[in-house]
Amino acid sequence: MAVATVTSKGQITIPSRVRAALGLEAGDRIEFVEQGKGRFAIVAATRSVQELNGLFRGKRNKPVSIEEMNAAIARRASGSR
């Protein structure tokens, strides 16, 4: 298991084994994708969208309508003020 320590400034050093597995190089960006409560996936932001295939499998089984998207955005926006 790879482990990193958070500094007082909220920074971490990604272990070399993890960087190699993600194909990360200096200057690359990464994204933290929430998988569930308290669980995140680290995704190289420099990768193709095709490589994300299956990342959210099981999260939602049916397509979302524009109306559902707008309702979700409205709910989120009203709670952030």
Show the domain range for 33: 16-79
> Within a domain: residue 20?
yes
What's the chain's Rg over C-alpha atoms?
17
Q: What is the pTM of this model?
A: 0.50
Q: Which residues contact 17 (CB under 8 A, 6 or more apart)?
A: 2
> Which amino acid is residue 39, in one-letter code?
R
Total count of domains within the chain: 1
pLDDT of residue 6: 93
Residue 4 domain-assigned? no
Give the pLDDT of residue 78: 77
Q: Is 66 within the bounds of a domain? A: yes
Spacing of C-alpha 51 from chain mean position:
13
Q: What is the pLDDT along the chain (81 residues), one digit of tens a residue?
A: 889 999 999 999 999 999 998 888 888 888 888 888 889 988 888 756 666 677 666 666 678 889 999 998 988 887 655
pLDDT of residue 48: 64
